[in-house]
Structure formats: C-alpha cells, structure tokens
Amino acid sequence: MRRASRKSSSSAATASAGPTKAVSKEVERIDQFFYAYADSSSGMIDPEGIETLCSHLEVPHTDVRILMLAWKMGCEKQGYFTLDEWRTGLKALRADSISKLKKAFPELVQEVTRPTNFQDFYTYAFRYCLTEDKKKCIEIPVACELLNLVLGLQFRPQVDKLNNYLMYQNEYKVINMDQWMGFIRFCNEINFPSLDNYDSDLAWPLILDNFVEWLRENKS
C-alpha cells in the first residue's frame, strides 16, 4: 500500500482546519460585537446596553423585534443578554455587526410568525416578563402592553377590546399562564366580533367567560 505523501497529508489537514478556523473567526467577531454593548462589571448586556443597541439598530427598545431577538437567543432574564445567549442567537442569524443584524430582522420576523413557531414565541413572551424567579403572574398593565406587542398586528380588534376590558374590570390584578394562553386561543378560534361560536362550557378561563359576557352586554 502506498503511503500518502507528506504534502497531501498536510493539504488534507489544512483543508479540515479551514472550516474550524472560519467558525472561530465568526465567533470572535460575534464576541467583539457583544462586548461593544456589554457592561464591563457584569459581563452582560444590561438594559442600558440594550437601549444603546436599539439606538444603533434604529428601533425602539419596545419594538417586537427586540423580543423576537431575545426569543432567538433563548434569553432567560428580561433586559439582560449573556454572552452564550448572544452567540446562540447571532450565530443562527449569521449576524456579527449592526448592519448584518438589521438585515436579519425580516428573516427573524418571518421565522417567528410561522404558525409552528408563533405559539412558542407567545408562550416565551409571558415567561420573559416574569421578572422574579418564583413569579407566576404578570400585572394587568404589563399584560396589556404585551398583548399589544405580540398579538396587535394579527388581531388588532380583539386585542383592543380585550385590553379595554382588562383595564375596566377590577376582579383580576394579575394574569397567569393559563389565562394568557386562553387569550391566543380565543383570537385563533372565536369568530369576532359575532362571538357566535363561543361556548362557555368548553373549559375557557373564567376571565374569558367574563370578557365575552361584557362584550355582549356592551354590544346591546
């Protein structure tokens, strides 16, 4: 059996090292991008760093695309991006600069709004707003803002009425996950504004039974 020449062995090693070197360079650029906004003491991008990032992206920090970015990164704590989270999201988006991140936004929006992903994003949005470890509910004003942000484009009439009701009623001070998931189910399944297929016997959260009753009373 002929031995591979030293030259061909060297070429093969160089070829196999090529992609690895390219990946490490990409990670290096993504890390540099991260440290441009990270706080030096915490080693994370904090709320102030996120505001600066948003300013450079020319979007408000309340823009739904920033929440989508947090979802893509798998961020666990509201208002903070860790280096590992940043790497996860930006490698997937192939973005290592402001200009590339801007260009990645349309693709990100398209990804999130696919039916297979949107339910996960909607669930994530609620969990992301739980600012304390053992917290299981979000306050009504926060829920209203979040509904505007994540459902407003697709279901504006329903969201407007639901927010009006939530701010009008005084029985509930907070919203839990079951109620939150009931809202998107309502938007997806119930004919609006007729409500002719709403059946209170179908295990809806009580807050939605009350909402529908309020809508019918105000319609008449």
> pLDDT of 140-194, one tens digit each?
999 999 999 999 999 999 999 999 999 999 999 999 999 999 999 999 999 999 9
Mean pLDDT of all residues in 110-125? 97
Cα gap 220→218, rounded to integer Å: 5
Return the pLDDT at 97: 98
Terminal C-alpha separation, the chain: 92
User: Does the pLDDT of residue 4 top 50, yes or no?
Assistant: no
Specify the fold of 21-112.
Answer: Recoverin; domain 1 (1.10.238)
Return the pLDDT at 19: 56
pTM: 0.87
In the block, tokens 């991260």 appear at: 34
Mean pLDDT of all residues in 109-114? 97
- Are the CB atoms for 64 and 149 separated by under 8 Å? yes
- Are the CB atoms for 121 and 68 separated by under 8 Å? yes
Homologous superfamily of 116-219 = Cullin, PONY binding domain (1.10.238.200)
Q: How many CB atoms lie within 10 A of CB 77?
A: 15
Question: Hey, which bits of 95-141 come out as E strands?
Answer: 137-139
User: Are 21-112 and 116-219 the same fold in CATH?
Assistant: yes
Percentage of residues in the chain having pLDDT higher than 70: 89
Calculate ∠ Cα 211-150-51, nearest 5°.
130
Over residues 8-39, the pLDDT tens digits come to 444 444 444 455 666 689 999 999 999 999 99
Can you give the residue ranges of every domain in the chain? 21-112, 116-219
Return the pLDDT at 23: 67
At 169, the amino acid letter reads Q
Could you tell me the sign of the dihedral formed by the alpha carbons of 20, 23, 29, 34, in that order? negative
pLDDT top residue among 7 and 42 = 42
Return the pLDDT at 219: 85
In the block, tokens 């441009």 appear at: 36
Structure tokens of 77? 């704590």
